[in-house]
């Protein structure tokens, strides 16, 4: 009797307890976040899809019906955008590339130096300085825009490209990321070994630590480039000459003029579509570069 009872109670071969109830329940639980993520993706991508499709429509097609079918006016919109004020749109794009590219590069360099110093060196006030940087991360940029304008006005730098570039160089979030990544990626033993070999601190940083920090610095560059490219408030306060406008402020002026000239709306939409393309290309290139750096770092370690 006991042997028969044990045989009945034992599960069949190749099965586990709870198989009949466990997997369906897990599938039901996994279904909820999947649907939530899909709805979030649709919510984020729907405006982008509308801009892409609307850029292909002429003014008549844009205002006559609201459909997600492509139009026939993309080439005409491009020609009108090129002809508008002798191609001022491309000057705005060039200004944005200058502000974002140079600003992100300088900001990454400053973040690398500051983050490495906070991660490697021990000095009085280090934690207090880092806490101040964390407070800067939590502070909205809109709060700093007016004080920055007043400071640069005292230096007679308003309405210049430097007034947009200089405030972007120091990024508290970039310094924070650089310190966290330097702490994790640069072992203290490697720094000490470099010092014992007689290398200077600058040589240790540039030849040993910087290659280890490179994947994190690429991330800092990407975040800062996107932030500067999309920045609107700082150029709006600092600049008055539209020849120095970035693309965000230039499209804003076009949109304001579109209230009196509806034909300019197609230029705004086409310009917004073209302004997204450099960011998409940068994400694709940098993501590949970032992945290769992570793989090479894993192989070296």
Percent over 90 (pLDDT), the chain: 33
How confident is the model over 51-75, as a mean pLDDT? 80
**Reported confidence tier of residue 28, pLDDT bands at 50, 70, 90:** low
293: closest CA among 192, 198, 213?
213
Q: What is the pLDDT of residue 55?
A: 87
CA distance 135 to 172: 8
242: closest CA among 232, 234, 250?
250
* Cβ–Cβ < 8 Å for 293, 218: yes
CA distance 163 to 152: 7
pLDDT above 90 (res 111): yes
More reliable by pLDDT, 293 or 246: 246
Is 24 exposed, middle or buried (CB count within 10 Å of its CB: 0-12, 13-18, 19+)?
exposed
DSSP state string for 86-102 = GTHHHHHHHHHHHHHHH
* Cβ–Cβ < 8 Å for 116, 206: no
Q: Domains in the chain, please, with CATH?
A: 75-300 (1.10.3720.10)
Q: What is the pLDDT of residue 294?
A: 45
More reliable by pLDDT, 221 or 286: 221
Q: What is the pLDDT of residue 298?
A: 38
Q: What is the pLDDT of residue 257?
A: 80
80: closest CA among 301, 277, 274, 264?
264
Strand, helix or coil for residue 71: coil
pLDDT above 90 (res 101): yes
How confident is the model over 8-24, as a mean pLDDT? 50
Q: What letter would DSSP give residue 139? A: S
pLDDT above 60 (res 291): no
Block residue for tokens 């910087």 = 210
């Amino acid at each position: 009797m006991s042997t028969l009872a044990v045989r009945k109670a034992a599960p069949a071969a190749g099965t586990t307890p709870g198989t009949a109830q466990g997997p369906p329940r897990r599938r039901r639980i996994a279904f909820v976040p999947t649907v939530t993520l899909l709805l979030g993706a649709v919510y984020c991508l729907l405006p982008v899809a509308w801009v892409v499709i609307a850029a292909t429509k002429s003014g008549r097609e844009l205002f006559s019906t609201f459909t997600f079918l492509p139009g026939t006016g993309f080439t005409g919109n491009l020609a009108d955008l090129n002809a508008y004020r002798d191609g001022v749109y491309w000057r705005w794009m060039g200004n944005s590339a200058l502000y974002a590219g140079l600003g992100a590069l300088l900001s990454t360099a400053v973040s690398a130096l500051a983050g490495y110093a906070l991660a490697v060196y021990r000095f009085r006030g280090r934690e207090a300085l880092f806490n101040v940087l964390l407070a800067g991360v939590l502070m909205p940029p809109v709060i700093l825009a007016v004080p920055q304008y007043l400071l640069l006005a005292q230096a007679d730098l308003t309405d210049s490209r430097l007034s947009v570039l200089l405030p972007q160089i120091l990024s508290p979030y970039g310094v924070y990321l650089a310190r966290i990544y330097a702490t994790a990626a640069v072992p203290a033993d490697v720094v000490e070994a470099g010092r014992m070999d007689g290398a200077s601190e600058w040589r240790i940083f540039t030849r040993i630590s910087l290659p280890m920090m490179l994947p994190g610095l690429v991330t800092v560059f990407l975040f800062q480039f996107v932030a500067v490219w999309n920045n609107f408030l700082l150029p709006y306060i600092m600049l008055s000459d539209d020849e120095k406008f970035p693309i965000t402020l230039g499209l804003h002026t076009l949109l304001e003029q579109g209230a009196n000239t509806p034909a300019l709306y197609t230029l705004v939409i086409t310009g917004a579509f073209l302004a997204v393309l450099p960011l998409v290309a940068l994400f694709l290139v940098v993501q590949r570069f970032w992945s290769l750096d992570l793989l090479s770092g894993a192989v070296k370690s």
